[in-house]
Amino acid sequence: MAFIWGKEMKMTVKDEGVLIFFILVPLLYPLLYSWIYNNEVVREVPVAVVDNSRSAESREFIRKCNASPDVDIAYYCKNLEEARELIGRQRVHGIINFPSDFAKNINRGTQAHVALYCDMSLMLNYKAIYMTVQGVSSRMNSNIQIEKSNGFTDRDDEITTKPLDFDEVQIFNPTGGYGNAILPGVLILIIQQTLLLGIGLAAGTAREENRYGYLVPISRHYNGIFRIVGGKSLCYFMVYCILSAYLLLVIPRMFGFTIMASAQALIGLMVPYLLSCIFFGMTISCMIRYRENVMLIVVFTSLIFLFMTGISWPKNNIPAFWQGVSWIFPSTFGVRGFLTISSMGGTLNDIKPEYEALWLQVIIYFLTTCAVYQVHINRVIDHVTHFGKHDK
């Protein structure tokens, strides 16, 4: 096993393509991704205003929206058609429309309306505009209630505007940012995808070079399929133990993302996750004939794997068929488990289903790796027996 480990480590270092996917991509890609989402939330989203009321109340509403850090009142338009043209040219991402009877209804004591139109092509822009307008309307409602109440003290005004007191606390994502929500899952997915790329690329390269003995040197060093699989997997495991520590501990702290995982929970999750990814990659690598194929397959499936984890769409709303398909991939349970221990401060008991599922995948993919490797080794032996030597 030590001989196979040494041979695989030498092949990894000598193959520039494998070295890129095993070292450079895990080191640099998370930095780029984290830097892009480091601002967490969008600010100063441009908005157009159509003020048919032209009253003190509508101007107060506009002024408070513009004072928000999330919205910038960029244009004043005469009508909706002009504002819609600005949205079509992507000059603004929302329209605030005041009807002509806006101030009249407020002063008359009847319900007034403000129309909000948002560009839904980017949900972060929509959220910023919608939450700002909703917050301003709530504050103006409170002021109107105070003016029309018969309270004598500030306490009376507080009870009038907020009869049921509450504090809003964002659990598990105190910044309310996109980076804290999505980055932990992406980091876990990077581990799986780069492992698949590196292992598949090495297998594809060996097949292209027609090295029939790329799985094992047929000599005294070959002494059992388990030692071959163990030696090769040990190489990948050693490399990714270091890279996983960098991805899951260094990157979040560099960019200020939430990380609440304990050492016991993190090690307990990552050991089966790395092993399941390695054996899954080794199983898939036997189906890769050309080195370009693995890049096309992995890049195409990266977004699909991310959706299947339930990080961007609730897993309870994913159809049962696709939930079953997602159980094939280690990233599904790895992302869910890491989010629980990292963002929510969970323990191994809290991720028991994911933890057990990963160990089950380790056993299954280890057996499938041994099976497919044995098939290839038998082909090598038959080839040597038939021709009497290795093809170089």
Is the Cβ–Cβ distance between 189 and 271 less than 8 Å? Answer: no
Span 100-151, pLDDT tens digits? 999 898 888 888 899 999 988 888 888 899 999 999 998 888 887 777 777 6
> How long is the chain?
392
Provide CB contacts within 8 A for 99, sequence distance 6+.
52, 53, 113, 115
Is the Cβ–Cβ distance between 185 and 339 less than 8 Å? Answer: yes
> Where does the pLDDT of residue 208 fall: very low under 50, low under 70, confident under 90, or very high at 90 and above?
low
Q: Report, as an integer, the average pLDDT of 332-345.
A: 91
pLDDT confidence of residue 223 = 60
Query: Which domains are seen in the chain, by residue range?
Result: 2-37+175-387 (no CATH), 45-161 (3.40.1710.10)
pLDDT > 70? residue 166 = yes
CA distance 136 to 66: 10
pLDDT confidence of residue 216 = 46
Mean pLDDT for the chain overall = 84
pLDDT > 50? residue 62 = yes
| Tokens linked to 41 | 């939330």
> Where does the pLDDT of residue 252 fall: very low under 50, low under 70, confident under 90, or very high at 90 and above?
confident
pLDDT confidence of residue 24 = 86
Across-strand partners of 49?
76, 96
pLDDT > 70? residue 220 = no
pLDDT > 90? residue 317 = no
DSSP state of 169: -
CA distance 21 to 377: 26
CA distance 51 to 73: 12
CA distance 162 to 139: 11
> Where does the pLDDT of residue 30 fall: very low under 50, low under 70, confident under 90, or very high at 90 and above?
confident
> Where does the pLDDT of residue 361 fall: very low under 50, low under 70, confident under 90, or very high at 90 and above?
very high
The full DSSP string for 267-279 is HHHHHHHHHHHHH
- Given the DSSP bridges, would you call strands 45-51 and 115-118 parallel, antiparallel or unpaired? unpaired
pLDDT > 60? residue 376 = yes
pLDDT > 60? residue 213 = no
pLDDT > 80? residue 72 = yes
pLDDT confidence of residue 256 = 81
pLDDT > 70? residue 305 = yes
pLDDT > 90? residue 391 = no
Is the Cβ–Cβ distance between 175 and 40 less than 8 Å? Answer: yes
Q: Which residues of 234-259 are buried (b: 16+ CB within 10 A; e: fewer)?
A: bbbbebbeebbeebbeebbeebebbb
Span 5-25, pLDDT tens digits? 888 888 888 888 788 888 888
3-state secondary structure of 27: helix
pLDDT confidence of residue 210 = 55
